[in-house]
Amino acid sequence: MRRTARRAGKALGACAAAALLALATPAGTAQAAAGTLTVDGTDHEDPSGCYRLGDFAPPKVSNLTDEVAWVWSGTDCDGQVTQQIDPGATAVGKGRSLFIE
């Protein structure tokens, strides 16, 4: 009986330690890109996420961040990737939206 109680106590202690460790660990590593993303003259400082591109004229995109910007065929960063705009590059966006982390 005492062995069972000790085992249960050790298991409970291990579960409590795991729960504390999980709470102390950051919940992810997602960060915004460092720098400026400029879409048709509008600056986005430390951008992150999906940005819609113009519907009529192809937009000029300057990626002055440390991350790759991905141009998508759909308006909500869906469909297919149509273009990659590397850090430091300027290009005409050939799609409907742009995603950057």
Task: Show Cβ contacts of residue 56 under 8 Å, excluding neighbours closer than 6 positions.
Answer: none
pLDDT of residue 5: 52
Q: Is 11 helix (H, G, I), strand (E, B) or coil?
A: helix
pLDDT of residue 54: 83
Which residue ranges form the domains of the chain, and what is each CATH number?
Answer: 35-100 (2.60.20.30)
In the chain, which stretches have pLDDT less than 50?
Answer: 11-29
Count of CB atoms situated within 10 Å of the CB of 62: 19
Segment 14-23, tens digit of pLDDT: 444 444 434 4
